[in-house]
Copies of this chain bind each other. A is one copy, B any other.
Amino acid sequence: MFVMHGGAGTITRQNLTPDMEKQYREKLEEALRAGHAILAKGGTSLDAVETSIRILEDSPLFNAGKGAVFTHDGRNELDAAIMDGKTKRAGTVAGVTIVKNPISAARAVMEKSPHVMMSGRGADLFATQVGLEIVDPSYFWTERRWKDLQRELMKENAASSHKGTVGAVALDQAGNLAAGTSTGGTTNKKYGRIGDSPILGAGTYAENESVAVSCTGTGEYFIRWTVAHDIAALYKYRGMSDHPRREGQLRDAVQYARDVSGVGRGGWRAARADL
């Protein structure tokens, strides 16, 4: 079972041409197929999540990797997280600037360090030392995102936009869940702002006993409500059979969510907050 989100639907309603929509759909489908293929061959949910997210990170379409939005200072600071539901091992990076694929940096933190979360220059250094692909910060410059920033900077009230975060959740043949999320954060973000994506329990969470969840929306609300773990907790402590109450609670938990993707034991599958 495999679910992805890329925020494309939300963008559609605002400013997407039919041609761009087609590009989004094709790239998402390519990533979905790659993830599915890994699971179909008996591969792990972790590999499916990482591989599919890398494909979206390499595309300029999504607000993750190559297509990341700009900060207030005109930089690209990327966040990502990955979590293994079987062991609850996890890795996250916040504010990396030279790592081509932040989702793989997150996986390296999980597999090659005693820490769970790394940030800023330290995270860049770690990614370099473990041999991940490093790029010049200019790699992340795209005209479209630059114009987004200029538009935001012109506004009196710099309400930041947050579209295009990507995420994937997977359940593999061995019954193991995994979740991953990757984002450039919000256009015009300031002061080293960290959003929900690299916060386990907020934007990303996976545990075999309950669910795998990846969120995108207004990150600050996801952090304050600990949305991803709240969904997991509802599964664990209320039980999946307790359907009406669960549904009500989930709706409550994601009241500020723009997009939540999740898979759980017993066939639960949700995307785009249709919980």
Contact = CB atoms under 8 A, between A and B. Distances in A.
A242 B123 CA distance: 43
Nearest to A115: B193
5 contacts: A88-B225, A116-B219, A117-B199, A199-B200, A201-B201
Nearest to A110: B224
Interface in A159-205: 159-160, 189-195, 199-202, 205
A192 B121 CA distance: 7
Contacts of A125: 191
Contacts of A190: 115, 122, 126
A208 interface: no
Q: Is the interface of A mostly helix, strand, loop or mixed?
A: mixed
A95 interface: yes
Nearest to A193: B115
Nearest to A83: B224
Interface stretch (A11-19, A233-241, A262-270): A233-241
Interface in A80-113: 83, 88-90, 94-95, 113
Interface string A50-86: 0000000000000000000000000000000001000
B117 A224 contact: no
A249 B226 CA distance: 19
Contact of A119 (B114, B119, B230): B119
B191 A224 contact: no
Contact of A120 (B192, B232, B249): B192
Nearest to A129: B191
A143 to B, nearest CB: 25
B122 A224 contact: no
Given A117-B199, A233-B236, 7 more contacts: A117-B193, A118-B191, A118-B193, A126-B190, A200-B223, A200-B224, A226-B226
A5 interface: no
Contacts of A237: 233-234, 237-238, 249
A27 to B, nearest CB: 30
A224 to B, nearest CB: 5
Contact of A118 (B90, B121, B192, B232): B192
A220 B125 CA distance: 20
Contact of A201 (B122, B159, B229): B229
Contacts of A191: 113, 115, 118, 122-123, 125-126
Interface centre among A190, A202, A226, A233 (most CB of B within 10 A): A226
